[in-house]
Amino acid sequence: MKQAEAPPNAKWSGPSHAGVKAPDPIVLPDPATRFATTAKRLDGMAEGHPLEPWLRFMAALSRAQHDVATAIVPGATLAGDDVARAVDARLPPLAADGHRRDAAWRDGLTRLLDGIDAASLPPPARDAIAQLRGMSTDAIETLADQFLRGRVATADAAAAVYVAAALQVYFTVSAARLDADALRLLEERPLCPCCGSPSVSGLITASGTTPGSRFLYCSMCSTSWNHVRAVCLNCKGTQKLSVKGIEGDPEVIKVETCGDCHTYSKLLYQLRDMQVDPYADDLASLGLDLLVAEAGYSRHAPNPLLLAGDDDALE
């Protein structure tokens, strides 16, 4: 069996040519802008959208996330030695499903719930907030673990959306404290080099040092990283890939489908709209997900804010 090649360092080590620059492999998030940008984009897309009430709610949730991310609610601060050991072992230093979370994430959850106008929400959303407020610390931590491991019960799915939102803030603030130069891409390239989570969507750049590059955006810690185009994120296949969009659509967002494993991932084209946001545009294109699912394809990884309970996973 051929030995797997080691992933590259955060610095480009390949050949260089005059006038050609390689894209930065890893770009850490900016908590001061990440959630505010998403909220603004959602508000702008909501007007006249078939899912307008839901997009307005998601915008409000993103604004609450911004308030938490910019408040004095610390994320995790990893020692340089801990990061180095994880990187040397080809592991994400903030592994979402194994990281020992700082209790401050629960303070962020409380602040998040306080920042949402519950009176404007439909009854199920209000009930979910009341459910969380009545849960013990241990029960909330258990729900967080279940969410991160993809094992949320149907009865807890609504409450888990708020837990997911709080965890996104926690991991985003934590990732921002790392040093990109100390990180490496993982051997499993579709997974985030900071926390090991899958991407929510991919952005085809129209600016920067290498326009036309694909950057994947982490569904949990908001880190982005460069990934070669025309490669399936699920099976790594290249032979049966196809890029599809909705006929008559502005072509800001498309899907890359794989005929080998029958999965798909989202592609956002910055050239078509410089305001495109990997998180907001993914939520606003739920109709595209439904069309692709009807054609027999499964999404390569779920959006953490679009949860469906899985009681079978808990048996």
- Residue 20 is predicted with a pLDDT of 46
The pTM of the full predicted model, rounded to 2 decimals, is 0.89
Cβ contacts of 36-41, under 8 Å, gap ≥ 24: 36/62, 36/63, 36/66, 37/277, 37/280, 38/62, 38/277, 38/279, 38/280, 39/63, 39/65, 39/66, 39/280, 41/275, 41/276, 41/277, 41/280, 41/281
Q: How many CB atoms lie within 10 A of CB 46?
A: 19
Q: How many helices (H) and strands (E) does the chain have?
A: 9, 8
Place of tokens 């294109």: 285
Give residue 79's pLDDT. Answer: 79
Is 265 within 8 Å of 254 (Cβ atoms)?
A: no
In the block, tokens 């001061």 appear at 32
Task: Specify the pLDDT at position 285.
Answer: 94
- Residue 21's pLDDT is 56
Domain ranges in the chain are 34-176, 182-299
What is the CATH code for 34-176? 3.90.1670.10
What are the average pLDDT values for consecutive 10-residue runs of the chain, which has 315 residues?
A: 36 41 85 98 96 95 96 76 91 90 93 92 91 97 94 92 96 95 94 96 88 95 96 95 86 95 97 95 94 95 76 40
> What CA–CA distance (Å, rounded) separates 24 from 108?
31
Q: Quick one: pLDDT at residue 90? A: 92
Give domain 182-299's CATH number out of 3.90.1670.10, 3.30.70.260, 3.40.50.2300, 3.40.50.620.
3.90.1670.10
The yes-or-no answer to whether 34-176 and 182-299 have a common fold is: yes
Residue 30: its pLDDT value, please? 97
